[in-house]
């Protein structure tokens, strides 16, 4: 490996040349020059695959436009669980019949957390950490207010995330459900999901993992870990497009003992029976509410199949290599300018993005966006470098971090 | 007008030739021969516009693929209310700032009905009719169960729908909210929305209209009628595609006194502030929950603009002419075979579909679908003929009703 003479840093071009996944980048749509120089925000919105526009057109013509209402009988009624099963198999370590696609992440969180709280009348506490993503915290605030539950807050080390020991003294016989992010949206900390799930189960409570920042970039084994509930988003590493639907995982062993509160016709046991009273469907379908967003879930399929073709282990390996490289570049180019890396340095405790803090990063981000270098910014002063393993090159990371350094220099 | 010699029925070809909206049909995608002969189910799933596939492709490439995460700042944050405002202006008689697009119809119903019930603690009754669409009834069952509210059921004349007098003795000082469909999904009955809204207001309660079967086919004046709340679907007469998002209307005068229960980040007053506690946004945005389904709401725009180009009055005029013609054909061809028309014969009390009952219509519908003649079936034995004013020709109606007659004859 040729390295930079002064720093011993490997050269990006050589890393790309040696990358077994390098050719996967060709599967993604490339915008016109000037629009995009370095995309470092796949953790917020993944890039579209080239296949997606064509597949959407085919869907509009062949499925929607030609089969019309017949499509529901022929295919679409099962689309949420068919796409869900495939997400489960390829990315979650979940056997069939436990995943469904629909709603937004926030609505899915509401449905599953309500189901967990309502099913355990003697348990009136919900545990979440103060650094969790706002929508998770807000949804739980609302549920606590309406159900008379108490929120028990974990205050983790902000530069990392929640560790099993953080639950000591908080978990107890009043705990209904624990809601944590598998990968923290800010620090990128990757939680010990099996360890925490075990601790929660020892207390007799249910565990819900928010997979938004891990699904499609970190392999998982929800079934093997005994996870009860999970919710995830599909517009980050599953490349479903802006506002694409969420998915929910409900462990088969829990499904028929839980009931979610939004009793729509598509979660009923006989949606087209036009029956008098609601009776929830058996199994995962009871977690569906309204008409499934069939058109909106089409792009997800393209990315799940691309991931399947290389496997989650290869995705994870490249993800680690990219974040290692980004940390190395940040250490070399940004830390000397007063920036601080606030993500775990141990790859085993890190997802697919890193965050670097500097008081000027809000202005830096605005300047970078004009230049087609696209990280994102999270208050108070975190710049996130998100590395989508199948669409990001090492050259892009080097160019991006160098551009951050240059913008910082201009503004200082 | 040339008429059939025996029946004095106008000839479909001549009606089409005289139809000022006939050329609008060219705007819709035409599937390959054999797929579709007569589409009579635009009231369940509207046909795609030709523009929609191309516009989706452009969206994937130019907006999502090129602007990427910048799209949120530049355009998408306001997309739910921008598209909502346009739906409001073109089809609802609603001034700007009162409509937002997102979620499914069922989830939107839950949010708004909960908001209405929760805002009026002394009022613990919800009124709905037994013939309302299952999801409306199921959602209310769930809310009544969790909030300790009582459902007061209206049992309307099944061949029509709820009239103002049906509320006498049911409306009262304990009524929180009344939930009715503007057009009944089965009979096609068009309710007296201003009259009923007035009666509900005299009782001090809130009125929620379900507009699923009227929006885009029946003109309305929600602001002038003083409607409090409304929810509608976009995959019927707004041609948004299978599972496209719902919309919600909340009268500006009520917005800040209502709070919906699903506290997602996009309904908070500062979504990207990453703040500690949820505080609802002012105005219509507080009824948003999760990340708006931006890709999924694109097709709606195409149809709203087509409707805007001809105006809702012209749409309604053709809708009435089509349903009149369908009734005439059904009287002539189906009633003699034992079928019964269970929709209002007075056009002023009818939406854009009619329902015909016959004990064999389940089997008839299956046979018709194979032949590309596509009505839909609603148990126990209703065949619905839905007439989407801008995409349906008189010839299609004649061909369709004749095919129903033929299939019935084969099966009898």
Angstrom CA distances, A60 to B87, B298, B396, stand at: 22, 13, 22
CATH 3.40.640.10, chain A: domain bounds: 75-307
Report the alpha-carbon distance of residue B71 to residue A270 in Å, rounded. 40
- The CATH topology of domain A12-48+312-411 is 3.90.1150
The count of C-alpha atoms lying within 13 angstroms of the C-alpha of A293, restricted to the half-sphere facing its C-beta, is: 34
Q: In what order do the strands lie in the sheet with A340-341?
A: A340-341, A353-357, A382-386, A376-378
B22-61 pLDDT, tens digit per residue, is: 999 999 999 988 888 999 999 999 999 999 999 999 999 9
With a cut of 70, say whether residue A1 has pLDDT above it.
no
Cβ contacts of B411 within 8 Å, gap of 6 or more = B360, B363, B364, B367
Q: Does B33 touch chain A (CB under 8 A)?
A: no
What tens digit of pLDDT does each residue of B55-80 get? 999 999 999 999 999 999 999 999 99
Q: Under CATH, what is the fold of the domain A75-307?
A: 3.40.640
Residue A301 a catalytic site member: no
Q: Which of residues 249-268 of A touch B (CB under 8 A)?
A: 261-266, 268
Q: What is the pLDDT of residues A297-318, one digit of tens each?
A: 999 999 999 999 999 999 999 9
Dump pLDDT digits (tens) for A345-400: 999 999 999 999 999 999 999 999 999 999 999 988 999 999 999 999 999 999 99
CA angle B353, B356, B357 (to 5 degrees): 145
Q: Strand B125-129 vs strand B150-154: parallel, antiparallel, or unpaired?
A: parallel
Q: Is the pLDDT of residue A96 over 70?
A: yes
pLDDT at A5 (0 to 100): 57
A293 neighbourhood in chain B, CB within 8 Å: 104, 243-245, 293, 296
pLDDT of B6 = 63
Instruction: pLDDT band for B158, please (50, 70, 90 cuts).
Output: confident
Share of chain A above pLDDT 70, in %: 98
Q: How far apart are CA A375 and CA A353, in angstroms?
A: 10
Q: What is the mean pLDDT of residues A76-98?
A: 98
> Position of tokens 């707004």?
B238
Q: Does ipTM come in above 0.95?
A: yes
Percent of chain B with pLDDT over 90: 92
Closest CA to A88 of A296, A228, A247, A229: A247
Residue in A31, A57, A63 nearest the CB of B65:
A31
A316 is catalytic: no
| Other Cβ atoms within 10 Å of A13 Cβ, number | 13
Chain B: give the shortest CA distance to residue A382, in Å: 12
pLDDT at B5: 57
Mean pLDDT value across residues B388-395:
98
Smallest Cβ distance to A39: which of B68, B296, B374?
B68
Is residue A287's pLDDT more than 60? yes
Query: Chain B, 116-155: which have a CB under 8 Å from a chain A CB?
Result: 118, 130, 133-135, 137-139, 141-142, 146
- As assigned by CATH, the class of the B12-50+311-411 domain is alpha beta
Mean pLDDT of A264-290: 92
Query: What local confidence, expressed as pLDDT, does residue A10 receive?
Result: 87
The token duo for A11 is 């050269």
| B3, pLDDT greater than 70 | no
**CA atoms of A79 and A285, how far apart (whole Å):** 11
CA nearest A298 in B: which residue?
A: B296
Pairing of strands A340-341, A353-357: antiparallel
Q: Which of B187, B175, B91 is nearest to B132 (CA)?
A: B187
Q: How many angstroms separate the first and last alpha carbons of chain A?
A: 35
The answer, yes or no, to whether residue B2 has pLDDT greater than 70, is no
Q: Judge whether B236 and B45 are in contact, CB under 8 Å.
A: yes
Report d(CA B314, CA B63) in Å as an integer. Answer: 34
pLDDT per residue over B334-362, tens digit each? 999 999 999 999 999 999 999 999 999 99
* Cβ count near A168 (within 10 Å): 9
Contact assignment for B293 to A296 by CB distance below 8 Å:
yes
Distance CA A102, CA A105 (A): 9
Residues β-bridged to residue A249: A99, A230
Tell me which residue in B53, B103, B278 faces A142 most closely, judged by beta carbons: B278
Closest-CA residue of chain B to A75: B242
Decide if A128 contacts A140 (C-beta within 8 A).
yes
Cβ atoms of B116 and B255 closer than 8 Å: no
Cα A80 from Cα A108, distance rounded (Å): 13
Q: What is the mean predicted confidence (pLDDT) over B157-168?
A: 88
Say if the Cβ atoms of B263 and A138 lie within 8 Å.
yes
Contact A151, A141 (CB under 8 A): yes
Confidence of residue B122 (pLDDT cuts 50, 70, 90): very high
Beta-bridge partner residues of B127:
B152, B178
Return the pLDDT at A220.
Answer: 98
Residues of chain A with pLDDT > 90, as a percent, come to: 92
Does residue B1 register a pLDDT over 60?
no
Query: In chain B, which residues have their Cβ closer than 8 Å to the Cβ of A246?
Result: 290
Where b means 16+ CB within 10 Å and e means fewer, B45-55 reads bbbbbbbbbeb
Average pLDDT for residues A72-101, to the nearest whole number?
98
Task: Judge whether residue B332 has pLDDT over 80.
Answer: yes
With 60 as the cut, is the pLDDT of residue A105 above it?
yes
What value does the mean pLDDT of chain B take? Answer: 96
Centroid of chain to Cα A86: 16
Q: Which of A187, A263, A299, A357 is the best substitution to test chain B (most B C-beta atoms within 10 A)?
A: A263
Asked whether the beta carbons of B92 and B251 are under 8 A apart, the reply is: no
pLDDT of residue A158: 74
Four-residue CA torsion sign, A96, A102, A106, A111: negative
Catalytic residue among A103, A129, A166, A210: A210
Q: Judge if pTM exceeds 0.95.
A: yes
SS3 A354: strand
Residue B4 has pLDDT above 80, yes or no: no
Q: Please count the helices (runs of H) and the strands (runs of E) in chain B.
A: 13, 13
Interface contact A371, partner B, CB < 8 A: no
Distance CA A84, CA B279 (A): 33
* Sign, Cα dihedral of B90, B94, B95, B98: negative
pLDDT in tens, A252-276: 999 999 999 999 999 999 887 777 8
**Chain B interface includes A229 (CB < 8 A):** no
Contact B241 A60 (CB under 8 A): yes
Token duo for residue B133: 């669409």
| Structural contact between residues B126 and B140, judged by C-beta atoms closer than 8 angstroms | yes
What integer is the mean pLDDT of B4-11? 74
Q: Would an 8 Å CB–CB cutoff place A366 in contact with chain B?
A: no
Cβ neighbors of B81 (< 8 A, separation 6 or more) are B97, B99, B100, B101, B284, B285
Look at residue B271 in the predicted model and tell me its pLDDT.
82
Confidence of residue A343 (pLDDT cuts 50, 70, 90): very high
B158 touches chain A (CB under 8 A): no
Residue B246 has pLDDT above 60, yes or no: yes
Q: Which residue of A has its CA nearest to B368?
A: A70
pLDDT score, position B235: 98
3-state SS, A153-185, equals EECCCCCCCCCHHHHCCCCCCCEEEEEEECECC
Range(s) for CATH 3.90.1150.10 in chain A? 12-48+312-411
A104 to B273: CB separation less than 8 angstroms, yes or no = no
Mean pLDDT across B156-166: 87
Residue A6, pLDDT score:
63
Q: How confident is the model at residue A154 (pLDDT cuts 50, 70, 90)?
A: very high
- Residue A379: the pLDDT is 87
* pLDDT (0 to 100) of residue A7: 67
**Res A329 pLDDT > 80:** yes
Phi, psi of B99 (to 5 degrees): -130, 135
């Amino acid at each position: 490996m040729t390295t930079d003479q002064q720093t011993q840093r490997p050269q990006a071009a050589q890393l790309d040349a040696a990358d077994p996944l390098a050719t996967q980048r060709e599967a993604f749509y490339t915008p016109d020059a000037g629009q995009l120089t370095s995309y470092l925000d796949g953790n917020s919105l993944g890039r579209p695959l080239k296949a997606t526009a064509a597949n959407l057109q085919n869907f509009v013509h062949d499925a929607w436009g030609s089969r019309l209402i017949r499509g529901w009988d022929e295919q679409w009624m099962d689309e949420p669980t068919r796409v869900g099963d495939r997400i489960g198999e390829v990315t979650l370590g979940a056997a069939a019949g436990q995943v469904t696609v629909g709603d937004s992440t926030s609505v899915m969180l509401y449905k599953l957390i309500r189901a967990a709280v309502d099913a355990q009348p003697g348990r009136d506490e919900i545990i979440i950490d103060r650094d969790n993503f706002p929508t998770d915290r807000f949804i739980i605030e609302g549920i606590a207010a309406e159900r008379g539950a108490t929120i028990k807050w974990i205050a983790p080390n902000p530069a990392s995330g929640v560790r099993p020991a953080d639950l000591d003294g908080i978990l107890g016989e009043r705990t209904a459900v624990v809601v944590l992010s598998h990968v923290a949206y800010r620090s990128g900390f990757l939680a010990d999901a099996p360890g925490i799930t075990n601790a929660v189960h020892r207390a007799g409570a249910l565990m819900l993992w928010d997979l938004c920042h891990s699904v499609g970039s970190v392999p998982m084994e929800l079934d093997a870990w005994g996870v009860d509930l999970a919710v995830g988003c599909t517009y980050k590493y599953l490349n479903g497009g802006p506002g694409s639907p969420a998915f929910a995982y409900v462990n088969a062993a829990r499904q028929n003992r839980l009931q979610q509160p939004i009793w729509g016709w598509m979660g009923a046991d006989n949606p087209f029976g036009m029956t008098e009273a609601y009776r929830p469907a058996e199994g995962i379908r009871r977690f569906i509410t309204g008409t499934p967003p069939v058109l909106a879930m089409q792009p997800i399929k393209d990315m799940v199949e691309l991931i399947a073709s290389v496997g989650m282990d290869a995705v994870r390996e490249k993800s680690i290599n990219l974040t290692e490289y980004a940390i190395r570049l940040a250490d070399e180019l940004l830390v000397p300018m007063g920036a601080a890396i606030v993500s775990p340095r141990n790859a085993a405790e890190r997802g697919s993005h890193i965050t670097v803090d500097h008081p000027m990063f809000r202005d830096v981000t605005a300047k970078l966006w004009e230049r087609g270098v696209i990280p994102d910014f999270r208050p108070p002063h975190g710049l996130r470098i998100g590395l989508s393993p199948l669409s990001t090159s090492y050259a892009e990371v080097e160019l991006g971090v160098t551009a951050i350094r240059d913008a910082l220099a201009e503004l200082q």
